Structure 1
């Protein structure tokens, strides 16, 4: 490998983390309330897409994969996102209905991890959200056979144009599209600290209550 093809060094990417200590006595009584507080702070800090999260899934055969999607809602029942049910993540979650979520809020030296089983939203919930989306996104949901191989960009654009001509105003809700809810059984809040001595506090579901545990960094 010559100098011109040598990969860039990672040495200059080292950084120090320093944040306000995350202490047990400062936590909300449940992880959803704590997430709401941190999410609000991420929004106030001006993060460009604080609802962007990595969704990790695993096929029935044990093949893992991850991708970034947008959180579209959360409450005490879980964390919601929408997708094509025939996409890779849709197939994974049908075969193996568990997922991990990661909110990587690097600029404020925080991250949140969520793990738990996954359930499909009702048809009514998915349809209500679908109808709230911009027209172009609704046509796009029909036009994209998500995760399938496409012959060319032109093929994709032509399919979009045909569907827009077919439904110039109000496309119906696709049968293959809808929402998933990740029901949390573990939620970890990570706060960066100096010398890699980070704070990691995890809520773990224990029956009808939550146990808080500190994890070593």
Structure 2
């Protein structure tokens, strides 16, 4: 009777051990499957959303691949499971490389745009005064009492720095100059004195050919540099 009980106890223990082992294998298989499915799901996410949430996506990926790799110890067919993990890993790395390349390109574009904007604003500040002209191109602050001094600062600044300006700078100067002239047409109707009008005309007579020649020269220099 005692021998029978011992055998029964051993059988129960063995059954429990087998059941536990099967459960671990089942859980391990689920972790590998979860990893594979997760990688596949990333490919279905819209690129814009993926780029915006990439840090969270990558953090979740790292957790899942870590679980999948650890789960291999509880699988019988480790080699087959490893092949599945490796295939999904390769798929993820390719997607990650593309995402990083796209995001780096966006960062470079933003940095270039920011540099260009800062360069334009710096030029505007020099031509008109700190913060006088922004992206809104608002010249309402120019009136009959200050327009002559505005032209003086603008033209004298351009003359003093003409050798350092790029073609883009001259394009911006031309744009600002034309906007200032447009404002002058309005100011003339608001009571601009004939004396100031005459002085402005003298400045414009001197500046008009200078801006044309220097824009052409800057463009020619850039073309030479590009060929070299």
TM-score range, shorter-chain basis?
under 0.3
Q: Please, what TM-score do these two structures have when normalized by structure 1?
A: 0.23
Q: Which has the higher helix share?
A: 2
